[in-house]
A and B are shown apart, each in its own frame.
Chain A
């Protein structure tokens, strides 16, 4: 996880930052531009060498740090991510698309040719892969920052960690912990609201429960989530049906390992306490 200090130390110039987009909504890249107070400061610390959303000036690689947004959904994406990896010393995936396939990975559970024919009159013009896959399915990655969208302060922490040659400090606990820290009333316990908080990675600041709604897991699974127990609680205590449980596991992070496995088990009727 820690960047190669020798490579950085050897650089007399500012570290070169690149931001890459694959299949996505651009929201995670935008989080960097939303750093209104820090953007110009950041530009003093790193050379923004490749960032098409923000600059038409393109510097040649290799790049010291690459931020990668989006999932892989076309044959060309597969080739391009390999080139990005070759050009990057430290590769960070940002957001649910890059780390867990994104909302577009719902196609992985369906027939993509049918999807294409629903949307396009002439599907033969459309070149797309059957699946949407995260970056780590194609190349080694150095760090994954979860979230749909990512938290811009966590992004600054990751970049700052890189600049200071240390590991990023991104809490891996659940949204429940963030709720407790905020002093929120538990929407599940108090109101019987279906909430993904117990299995969801921290980072949003327990946003949804703070607004009186259940967490919908846009930050993906926390470390070691017990999704099985959660799903049974929904079924037994909240009366959630199978379709609802599967829908909650399959949304913005449908390919995150725990959610993917659990949703398939429920879909195939192999659910049950183990």
Chain B
């Protein structure tokens, strides 16, 4: 019974990450069934946000993900400010960009060094890899540490930072705090350049995919906190129109909802999408290294996402240092807000891709409706699609190698279930005869 999954339009998404499994049914000629099963228990964030104060949304939604809490905080803040018609000052906007740089660095380097790189070199983990490649692992940890230091300086701590609020920050950093990070970030930027060169030389399986890429696009800068939503196949909409073009569906095999582009289906968000749609807006240093590596958009091989992550880490250091060099403490760390009956939405670029929030609040500022669409739910269909496309090319491999390759293909996407999907339970069922 292939293709028996049904699709239903739904209004809300539950937060899911952590636990996943993969089921593939195939025969000698054909892939019959690919199911990325996310069985992480639902946590009901959209449900229990109702009734909570609008000022709590950044702190509460940060708890959706310990690996990218800043992304949830940024999206929630912008959505609330969109609802309240509040535009923060350029200085505060820049500080938020700096915080996001820190998260991109530490989250990307966690994935690159601890989850992804061991795949290419045949190790079960970074500790085992460190025995043979001590320098690379040491450098990666140094880079990650610098990202953590940046998030800690601005946000108070690495996991679930406490310093952001609707309207700005609780406290703006002093110039000395910024200056104190410059040397560490500068050294780490050099290391990031080396890691880019190292990553580009990894052995990549041949796996070119035809995918529609979706990312925020800004005219003047690589996207983080805002922009229009564009795709590689011509979509160009404002964030306010997101729900007209993207729809969530529930499938029986996953507690995470599947997101689709209306009438077009699967699409991809994340580093590959950002890189392919925003290459000219990377900094000169990043483009120079990309040139040197002959690594140009479009990059259509998800296995090469590790190189893009490294380039984005380099960009984040470059951008962070630019911001720090120009930093003047803002006159006030936040703009005051007053609740009113309103609704608002926002999308930002989490390390794993586009993250959409929409809230409705009442006149007392209590949340009456919340919708959150995470990058992983948007990429689930594409991950399954990728496996379907890839498998026939590698069916000659022994089953154990094929299984390993499928697990690797999923890790390419760094799904927010990465923590456990690094170690998916994989069930391969080989049919003796083809069946429909």
Contacts and interface: CB of A to CB of B under 8 A. Distances in A.
A144 B115 CA distance: 28
Nearest to A24: B18
Contacts of A28: 66, 159
Interface stretch (B26-34, B39-47, B297-305, B335-343): B39-47
B127 A125 contact: no
A103 B125 CA distance: 31
A29 interface: yes
Contacts of B106: 34
Interface of A: 21, 23-31, 33-34, 36-37, 39-40, 43, 48, 51-58, 73-74, 77, 102-104, 106-107, 110, 112, 114-116, 118-122, 125-126, 128, 148-149, 204, 207-208, 210-213, 216, 218, 247, 251-252
A54 B423 CA distance: 9
Interface stretch (B76-84, B160-168, B263-271, B276-284): B160-168
Contacts of A112: 44
Interface of B: 8-14, 17-19, 40-48, 50, 52-53, 56, 59-60, 63-67, 69, 106, 110, 114, 118, 124-128, 130, 137, 141-142, 144-145, 148, 156-160, 162-163, 165, 170-171, 250, 252, 255, 257, 407, 419-420, 422-423
Contact of A120 (B10, B45, B142, B158): B10
Contacts of A110: 47-48
Given A53-B422, A57-B125, A119 B47 contact: yes
A34 B44 contact: no
B250 A120 contact: yes
A23 B60 contact: no
A43 to B, nearest CB: 5
30 contacts: A21-B18, A24-B66, A25-B65, A25-B66, A34-B159, A36-B142, A40-B127, A51-B125, A52-B419, A52-B422, A53-B419, A56-B118, A56-B125, A77-B41, A102-B63, A103-B48, A103-B60, A115-B48, A118-B12, A118-B47, A119-B42, A119-B46, A121-B9, A122-B252, A148-B160, A149-B157, A149-B160, A212-B171, A247-B56, A252-B63
A122 B8 contact: yes
B124 A55 contact: yes
B42 A128 contact: yes
Given A26-B18, A39-B141, A53-B419, A208 B66 contact: no
Contacts of B65: 25-27
A54 B124 CA distance: 9
B67 A26 contact: yes
Given A33-B110, A74-B41, A213-B170, A103 B63 contact: yes
A48 B170 contact: no
Given A24-B18, A104-B43, A128-B42, A54 B59 contact: no
A120 B18 CA distance: 19
B275 to A, nearest CB: 25
Contacts of B66: 24-30, 149
Contacts of A39: 127, 141
Contacts of A216: 59
A211 B156 contact: yes
Contacts, number: 184
Contacts of A106: 44, 48
Given A77-B41, A211-B170, 19 more contacts: A21-B18, A21-B419, A25-B69, A26-B17, A27-B65, A30-B66, A34-B144, A39-B127, A48-B127, A52-B420, A52-B423, A54-B125, A54-B422, A103-B48, A115-B48, A120-B12, A126-B42, A208-B162, A212-B171
Contacts of B163: 211
B262 to A, nearest CB: 16
B149 to A, nearest CB: 10
A75 B110 CA distance: 32
A145 B419 CA distance: 21
A188 B255 CA distance: 42
A245 B128 CA distance: 50
Contacts of B14: 119-120
Contacts of A204: 157
B13 A119 contact: yes
A26 B416 CA distance: 10
Contacts of A211: 156, 162-163, 170-171
B141 A25 contact: no
Output the residue of A23, A48, A53, A213 with the most chain B CB within 10 A: A53
8 closest A-B pairs (Cβ-Cβ)?
A27-B66, A55-B125, A57-B124, A115-B47, A106-B48, A149-B159, A121-B10, A36-B145
Given A31-B159, A121-B250, A128 B67 contact: no
A27 B69 contact: yes
Contacts of B171: 211-212
B135 to A, nearest CB: 13
A30 B67 contact: yes
